[in-house]
Chains A and B, each alone.
Chain A
C-alpha cells in the first residue's frame, strides 16, 4: 500500500549574509504506516531541518523550501499555507522536540498545554479535554496525574517533561510522530524508559515514528528501517539488521565502528575509532561526494561526480561509487 509519508527531492535553503546555506539538498525519505524509521547522522547534517520542513516549523524567512515534495497520505504539504497546515499539525503529525527544559511554555500549566491541542483539533468540552489530558498523563506513566496536571513545567524533572511532550504529541492520536533526538538531553537511565514508552505508545496507537538521532545505540534498539544522512544528503538506507550486518557506505561503516563495544574483549585495549575531520559548511558545498574529504576509500571519481542512490540489495540503497560496477572503478 502507499507509504504514509514520501519526501521526494526536498531542498531547504537558508539565506545568510555569507550566501545560501543548502542545509537539505535533495532528500528522498519514505515512511510506511506503523513503521519506525530512524534518521541518523552527525549534528549539522540537516536531519532536524528535514523534520522541521515537513511541518514548516522553520523560520521563514530566512529559511525556505527551495524544491521537492512532501506527500503525506497522497497530499503534497509543500504548497499548503500555514493555516492549511494547521489542520495536519498535531492532528496527523505529532512532534517531540529535543530540549524538554525549554520546549514547554513556563507560564502555562502542563495540563493546559496538552488540553489546548485537544480542544483545537477535536470538538471536546473543556471538561472532556481535561479528562483526556489526565488519561494521557497516566499513559505516559506520570504519577499522581490528577494532581500534577495543574503543575507548571518548572515543577517537573527533565525526564518527566519529555513524558509530557510525548503525551502532548500523542494527544490527538496522530498517524505519524516525528521525534527529534527525544533523549539526547536526558541521562541514559531515563533515555531507556523514554524509548520503551515510545515503543509502547507506537504499538498501542499503531502510528509510524520518525526518530531522529545521532546515537547508533538508539538506532539499533528502536529502528525497523534506517536512513543515514551526511551533509544534507541521504547516503544510505536499509533495514536495521542489514545496515548493522553489512553497512555499504564508508560513512555508515565509520559510524558503526565508532560505537563503544563492551561485548568484544578486544575493545578494551584499543582506542575508540573516530572519523577524522568534521561536517563541511554547506554554503558552497564541494563538487562530487561530500564525504570524499574524510573518506578512506576516496577515488578520483568521488571528487568530480556526485554518487546517486542505487540499489545494492533488496531494500538496501546507498550513494557511493565504491563497488559501482558501471564505473569499473578500481578498488
Chain B
C-alpha cells in the first residue's frame, strides 16, 4: 500500500504495531478465527470441566455398561459403566497438553538444529545432519522402551506417577519428530542466507545471532508453522498409537488416544464410545491446522490478502 500523503483523505491509519497488523491479517482468514474460538472452547471445557461435571472418572457400575448418550451420561458409558464425559475431560487435558508440548519440543529442537546447520558452513553442518539422519533411522518403540525403563522411576519420584510419564511421553514424541522440521529450517536458511537483505544486515555489522533472529527466522517461519501444526496432530495420534501398543500412560489414565484404543473393539456395539474421543481429536487437530494456515498467511508479508 502506498505511504501517507498529507492531504490524502483516506482515514488516518496511525502507527500500528506489527502484532495488531498480524491480528488484522489473521482475522481475514474466517476459518482460522472460528478454529481459534473452537480451540479455546475445547481448552476451557477441559480445564474448567471437572468443576462443573463432578462425576469421578472411574466410578465402575457394570449394570450401566455400554449405554448410549443419556441425561445422566451425556457422552454415554464404556463397558465398565464409567462416564465417558468425565473421562474425556480428564483425558483431554493430557492429550491436548501432550499434543501442544510435543509440537513445541519438536519445533524448538528442529528450528535450533536447522538454524545451526543452516548458518554453519563447515563441519558443524555435516555433523548436525548426521545427527538428523541418526535420529531419523532410530526406531521409536525400542527407544521408548529404553527411555521408560531408564527414566521412569527417576521422573516418578520427582513429578509423581502421572507427571513423570507425561514428561517422558512428551520428550519421546517431541524428541523423535524434530528431524523433518530441522531439515525444513536448514533448507530455508540455506536459501534466505544468500538473499540481499541478509547480506545488507551483515554489511551493517549484524552479528550472526542477530541476523538469524531478526532477519532469517521470521522469513523461515511459514513452513515451520505448517510443520508444527501437522506435528500436533501427529503427536496426539502418536500418543494414541502408543496406547494401541500398550505403552505410554498408565492404564487408568483415560487420554483421548487410550479411549479410542479401548473403544475400537466395541465399534459396532457402542459406537458412541469411539466417536466422542475420535471427534474430539478431529476437532482439535482441524482447529490447530486452520490456525496454522491463518498464522502462516498472516506472518508471510509477501502474501497479499
Contacts and interface: CB of A to CB of B under 8 A. Distances in A.
B9 A277 contact: no
Interface string B1-35: 11101111110000000000000000010000000
A280 B8 contact: yes
A286 B9 contact: yes
B6 A281 contact: no
B305 interface: yes
Contacts of B7: 277, 293
A44 B2 contact: yes
A203 interface: no
Contacts of B2: 44, 278-279, 281
A323 B6 CA distance: 28
Nearest to B2: A281
A281 B8 CA distance: 7
Nearest to B10: A281
Contacts of A281: 1-2, 5, 8, 10
Contact of A280 (B1, B5, B28, B305): B5
Interface string A12-26: 000001100000000
B6 A284 contact: no
Contacts of B8: 280-281
B18 to A, nearest CB: 18
A218 interface: no
B10 A283 contact: yes
Interface residue SS majority, chain B: loop
A17 B28 CA distance: 9
B81 to A, nearest CB: 54
A131 B166 CA distance: 70
A108 to B, nearest CB: 20
Contacts of B10: 18, 281, 283-284
| Interface range, B side | 10 to 19
B273 to A, nearest CB: 46
A6 B249 CA distance: 76
Interface in B144-161: none
A284 B11 CA distance: 11
A280 B9 CA distance: 9
A296 to B, nearest CB: 15
A283 B11 CA distance: 11
Interface residues of A, number: 12
B9 A284 contact: yes
Given A17-B28, A17-B305, A278 B9 contact: no
Nearest to A279: B2
B242 to A, nearest CB: 43
A277 B4 CA distance: 9
Interface string B294-305: 000000000001
B270 to A, nearest CB: 49
Contacts of A280: 5, 8
Nearest to A292: B7
B26 to A, nearest CB: 13
Contact of A277 (B1, B5, B28, B305): B5
Nearest to B13: A18
Nearest to B305: A17
A74 to B, nearest CB: 37
A18 B5 CA distance: 17
A283 B13 CA distance: 14
Interface string A263-293: 0000000000000011111011010000001
Looking at B2, B3, B305, the one whose CB has the most chain A CB atoms below 10 A away is B2
Contacts of A286: 9
B194 to A, nearest CB: 13
Interface in A126-160: none
B25 to A, nearest CB: 9
Given A283-B10, A284-B9, A286-B9, A278 B28 contact: no
Contacts of A293: 5, 7
Contacts of B28: 17
A47 to B, nearest CB: 15
A42 to B, nearest CB: 11
A277 B8 CA distance: 10
A277 B28 CA distance: 32
B3 A278 contact: yes
A281 B9 CA distance: 9
A18 B6 CA distance: 19
A277 B10 CA distance: 15
Given A278-B3, A281-B10, A286-B9, 9 more contacts: A17-B28, A17-B305, A18-B10, A44-B2, A277-B6, A278-B2, A279-B2, A283-B10, A293-B5
5 contacts: A17-B305, A278-B5, A280-B8, A283-B10, A284-B9
Closest 5 CB pairs of A and B: A293-B7, A281-B10, A281-B2, A280-B8, A278-B5
Interface of B: 1-3, 5-10, 28, 305
Interface of A: 17-18, 44, 277-281, 283-284, 286, 293
